[in-house]
Amino acid sequence: MGRTADYSKQTCGIAATLEVVGDPWTLLILRDAFWGVRRFEQWQERLGVARNVLAARLKSLVAHGVLETRAYSERPPRNEYLLTDKGQALRPVLLTMADWGNKQVYGDQAPALFIHDHCDHAFTPRLTCDHCGEGLIPGDLRRTQVNAGAPTVGEALARSDKG
């Protein structure tokens, strides 16, 4: 159940994200965290993942600053795991994944629906440009190399995980 791909030598924002959350089970652990799961036993029961794998994933997410621990019991000593701001920032990744799976795999049989509190309607994510507010159409993004000396994923992680 260990890592099966090493992206640390890539120089790419997507690879950087996968290096942090691309391990098996990690994104489902985070999905549950967004719905309020905080404790080891809850994840273990919901996911049915091996305990050593779950422990390794939680440890890695804490090391990367995506989750943080907080003691909820002194005797015996027990920690729960909370999403940091860095972890909360993954919500768009999970919501776009949910949308794709619901539409492209489940079709009209999506297992769950989100309601947007602001408008009280079913929530469908729409990705827009933060500058002009427009949605995307195919072929409307150009990639510009802005930082030819950018570090590799491994170097960037070594720096950000310390910070």
Least CB distance from residue 78 to a copy of itself, whole Å? 25
Given 35, 38, 62, 78, the residue binding a copy of itself (CB under 8 A): 35
In the chain, the N- to C-terminal Cα span, in Å, equals 29
Site for a copy of itself in 3-22 (CB under 8 A): 3-5, 7, 10-20, 22
DSSP state of 101: I
Stretch that binds a copy of itself, among 27-35, 37-45, 74-82 (CB under 8 A): 27-35
76 binds a copy of itself (CB under 8 A): no
Q: How far is CA 52 from CA 49, 59, 107, in A?
A: 9, 11, 35
Site for a copy of itself in 100-159 (CB under 8 A): 100-107, 109-119, 121-134, 136, 138-147, 150-151, 153, 156-157, 159
82 binds a copy of itself (CB under 8 A): no
Nearer to a copy of itself, 81 or 90 (CB): 90
User: Distance between CA atoms of 104 and 102, rounded to whole angstroms?
Assistant: 6
Q: Give the strand pairing for 78-83 and 67-73.
A: antiparallel
75 binds a copy of itself (CB under 8 A): no
46 in Cβ contact with 37 (< 8 Å): yes
Least CB distance from residue 128 to a copy of itself, whole Å? 5
Nearer to a copy of itself, 71 or 93 (CB): 93
Angle formed at CA 67 by CA 10 and CA 116, multiple of 5 degrees? 95
**The one-letter amino acid at 110:** A
Residues binding a copy of itself: what is the number (CB under 8 A)? 90
- The residue count for the chain: 163
